[in-house]
Structure 1
Amino acid sequence: MLQRTRNGKSRTVLVAGGAGFVGSHLCDALLARGDRVICVDSYITGSKDNVRPLLNHPDFRLIEADICEFDRIDEPLDQVYNLACAASPPQYQADPVHTMMTCVSGTGNLLSVAEQHGASFLQASTSEVYGDPAEHPQREDYRGNVNCIGPRACYDEGKRAAEALCFDMLRSARVDARVARIFNTYGPRMQPHDGRIISNLLVQAISGKPLTIYGTGEQTRSFCFVSDLVAGLMALMDVDPNPQGPVNLGNPGEFTINELAALVLAMVPTVSKMVRKPLPQDDPQRRRPDISRASELLGWEPKVPLREGLRHTADWFIATVGSDAERKPRSSTVRTQPVSPEMGMRV
């Protein structure tokens, strides 16, 4: 049965970045509940393979476009999700100017589209707005510790600027905008070579290569399985009234990178050992969300423990990548600058 809006019509949802890791899972979930989905993606970091099973779905439409150049849609919309941005450090640092413009100009374009249609808008922000936090765990009222001129600023400051745009549009009553601050997310459809810690370690273990640990490995992250995150995004979009502020979405379970690597080694049959390299600049030492606000406002909390989610993710990598795990993908036209690998997962 089709999901219905208040005016009785079927709901039409635009998902920018819908062919990406998180975006494709969101498209699946929206279609499963009966929405009509318009996926917009440039394939800079997304992949058509992620949505190929949906191409013959009668309620799915795919548009290839960069949101920096996208400012209109030819049919009514009820909701707009903005998940369009390179999300891992090697990807977003490869073309930092494009990353910044995607966050600022691209978000501005999508807000204008939402305004034109009277659609609700959800911005996928990130825990990176907290930088290398001096507060732990991180609450939404913490203003962060970001290096505004460092190599990660294109993403960190870009996402902060995108949040400012959203709340300016909300305060001026132009767009019903909501902001999710997403913490480390993982699951099937992650790109093997995107530079995120879970994909790095799994691909290295599957290939029998050394597992790379940056710094001491005692820095911490909190890992949220993709199905939990998607449920949180949809709950935040649909909650009434508007929360009027950002909402953290992530799993508060905290693990050191050494603990994560040990889990991978125990889970994947491999001859791999650990090797250590210097910690990249501005890499956060601790990262864990306070999700009290999401729990109170949305009734949301993650359900999939790391060991279970990691097993699903490992199985997907083994089945999908297998012996070709170390084969590098063809470079994109915008990824031209070499960058250092970095710990952590950004969304």
Structure 2
Amino acid sequence: MINLKDISVTFTQKKSDVTAVDHVSLQIDKGDIYGIVGYSGAGKSTLVRVINLLQKPTQGQVIVEGKDMVTLSARALREERKKIGMIFQHFNLMTSRTIADNVAFPLKGSGLSKADITAKVEKLLALVGILDKKAAYPGQLSGGQKQRVAIARALANDPKILLCDEATSALDPKTTLSILELLQEVNQKLGITIVIITHEMQVVKEICNKVAVMENGRVIEHGDVISIFDQPKAPLTQDFIRTATHVEQAEKKLLAHTDKPLYVLKFPNATGAVIIDLFKKFAVTADILYGNIEFLQEVPIGTLIVTLESDNGGVLDLDAISDYLAQRQVRISEIERTTEKEVIA
């Protein structure tokens, strides 16, 4: 569906070159809800603008449905862009026009009759759940309602791809969830491929089936969401996931209240009497201080934070415990303690 091959984007600022995207290659398949996550300045927004050539790459190929967007004429590019809808963080609605007029705006010059346009606008507003607001103006709507209008407008030309650039960043958590549910519904009902740019792994966790993590213009890790959440490799990915699953907050609080070594157990499918089996096999008592289960694509992934003590007062054989847990598809790691000097450094 979308194939980005060796994409780089370089800007010249004050006689020096700044590389915003650095040799990125990604494959986004039809029907994906693909998340691209990274902190501000990672290059993710520049990369998503390359897909519809709002930003022309310095090098590389942008293949969308078999066509190299970079090589298209201006006229052909305009036609291909109609197949790619886009929504933004700040909605970009026309304040002097009604909600219906905002949604109808992309249909000017489409050849549809006024009656057909009206019917299509009402159908789209019904899809996003705000048909009753068609005669209102943007200033009369909440942030979530405005984003629903923006989504309806982005769908006006029946796109095959929807690009979402920080589309939920200006919304409160409850409204964010409702917009994400709507995007998931759009994906399922209309079969539209969605690319979501975000700095919040929580957004990725809610609806994406695949994710790429960006840092300093490069993709440092990518894959299906379950694999990335279950076994993140890059330190930045690990930080994102610990924050999204609230494990980081639990670790900080527990480290402040105990001097005992703390261990994290991560296990897919959240099944099996692991704690009881540790006691039976190694005479190890595990005191559970925190537990959490995340459901990703309907697959449960469990996390426990525990202390481990030998029941007979002996020394823990952590290597043997780790090997045994690995056979059960459970991973164990000790939480590192950061000293005050290290934090200052």
Which protein is bigger by CA-based radius of gyration? Answer: 2
Q: Which has the higher contact order (CA 8 A, sep 6+)?
A: 1
TM-score over 0.5 (shorter chain): no
Q: TM-score, normalised by structure 2?
A: 0.27
Structure with bigger strand share is 2
